[in-house]
């Protein structure tokens, strides 16, 4: 059943739209009548997802699809400039592009690998900063930004330092921005998912020793659609006094 959020006609930029939560959110927003500028670093996945998203929209002209590496400032700035040039405004930014380290659930802090650490910081933290900076420079009064944190942003996770550090940092960055742009009625919030179905959680669970480890903590895995619904609510005008928050969606894991 369609969810009735007041987001029709809003122009929304989404990173990580080629998979998981970003893709599910783009589908939901296309159905709700948003104009979408979607991006991902994986051009093949993005092309497939773009077809599905465009089919849900009232017109394929409502979708701009761009290959962007969020680590690169020039990619991000050109993407947001092109978004505003095409649609004439920007009402929302959804920054979901993210990675887990190649090595996860094995290394303690004293064993951290520099290359893996820098890779995760570059995508999960620098990438969010690049996107949020470009979005805020172009954001309408009343706009809304939603950044991907994690329950790893609110509690420590042993043998998961790089990812956990980036998600804590995204929360600090978002709270700071929220206080800076409140006078423009712009909101900045984070989502903090627990275990959500998709490729990222499959890799993470596989290295953590299987599903029995999380089954004793939470009711079940969440779905990308459930997270997309939360994001849509944070975008819509009904939530316009909510800013600087971290919205945990984790089936009671981190409580
Ligand atoms: N899935 C979970 O269980 C979970 C839990 C907590 C937080 N999160 C966070 O939510 C966000 C979305 O997670 P997901 O499950 O949809 O992951 P996912 O792996 O399904 O999708 C992430 C997308 O980001 C893209 N991406 C990676 N590096 C990029 C780059 N440099 N530039 C542009 N795009 C890039 C990938 O190509 C992929 O399409 C991530 O930031 C993740 O850390 C996910």
Tell me the backbone φ, ψ of residue 222, rounded to 5 degrees: -85, 170
Q: Whose CA is nearest to atom 40 of ligand 1?
A: 98
Tell me which of 70 and 217 has the higher pLDDT: 70
Determine contact, residues 93/12, Cβ cutoff 8 Å.
yes
Query: For residue 82, what pLDDT is reported?
Result: 98
Task: List, for residues 196-231, the tens digit of each pLDDT value.
Answer: 999 887 877 776 665 665 666 788 999 999 999 999
Helices (H), 149-196: 161-181
Q: Whose CA is nearest to atom 32 of ligand 1?
A: 69
Q: Which of 4, 13, 3, 2 is nearest to 140 (CA)?
A: 13
Determine contact, residues 149/104, Cβ cutoff 8 Å.
no
Residues 13-19 have a mean pLDDT of 98
| 199 CA to centre of ligand 1 in angstroms | 9
Q: Is the shortest distance between the CB of 186 and ligand 1 below 6 Å?
A: no
Cα 193 from Cα 254, distance rounded (Å): 10
Reduced to 3 states (helix: H, G, I; strand: E, B; else coil), residue 221 is: coil
Domain spans of the chain, in order of start: 11-195+224-249
- Going by pLDDT thresholds of 50, 70 and 90, the confidence category of residue 4 is low
The CATH number of the domain covering residues in 11-195+224-249 = 3.40.50.720
Query: For residue 212, what pLDDT is reported?
Result: 60
Cα 35 from Cα 155, distance rounded (Å): 35
Q: Residues with catalytic annotation?
A: 163, 167
Q: Is the shortest distance between the CB of 123 and ligand 1 below 6 Å?
A: yes
Would you say residue 3 has pLDDT above 60? no
Ligand 1 test: best mutation among 75, 100, 200, most atoms within 8 Å of CB? 200
Whether the pTM exceeds 0.95: the reply is yes
Query: For residue 203, what pLDDT is reported?
Result: 76
- Going by pLDDT thresholds of 50, 70 and 90, the confidence category of residue 36 is very high
Determine contact, residues 188/174, Cβ cutoff 8 Å.
yes
Cα 160 from Cα 84, distance rounded (Å): 37
| 21 CA to centre of ligand 1 in angstroms | 7
Range name among 17-21, 142-146, 192-196, 216-220 with the lowest pLDDT average: 216-220
Q: What is the largest CA-CA distance in the chain?
A: 53
Extended beta strands in the chain, E state: 11-15, 35-40, 63-67, 92-95, 144-148, 187-193, 246-249
Residues 153-161 have a mean pLDDT of 95
Percent of the chain with pLDDT over 90: 87
């Amino acid at each position: 059943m369609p969810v009735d959020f007041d987001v029709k006609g809003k122009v929304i930029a989404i990173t990580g739209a080629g998979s998981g939560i970003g893709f599910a959110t783009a589908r939901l927003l296309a159905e709700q009548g948003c104009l979408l500028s979607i991006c991902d670093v994986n051009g093949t996945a993005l092309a497939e997802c773009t077809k599905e998203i465009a089919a849900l929209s009232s017109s394929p002209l409502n979708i701009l699809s761009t290959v962007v590496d969020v680590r690169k400032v020039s990619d991000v700035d050109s993407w947001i400039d092109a978004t505003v040039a095409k649609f004439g405004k920007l009402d929302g930014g959804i920054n979901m592009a993210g990675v887990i380290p190649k090595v996860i659930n094995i290394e303690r802090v004293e064993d951290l690998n520099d290359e893996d650490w820098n890779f995760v910081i570059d995508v999960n933290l620098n990438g969010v900063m690049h996107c949020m900076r470009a979005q805020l420079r172009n954001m309408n009064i009343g706009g809304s930004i939603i950044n991907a944190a994690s329950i790893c942003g609110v509690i420590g996770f042993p043998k998961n330092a790089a990812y956990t550090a980036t998600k804590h940092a995204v929360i600090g960055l978002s709270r700071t921005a929220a206080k800076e742009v409140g006078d423009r009625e712009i909101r900045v919030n984070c989502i903090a998912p627990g275990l959500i179905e998709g490729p990222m959680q499959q890799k993470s669970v596989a290295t953590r020793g299987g599903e029995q480890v999380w089954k004793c903590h939470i009711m079940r895995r969440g779905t990308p659609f459930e997270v997309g619904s939360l994001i849509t609510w944070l975008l819509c005008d009904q939530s316009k006094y909510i800013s600087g928050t971290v919205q945990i969606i984790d089936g009671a894991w981190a409580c």
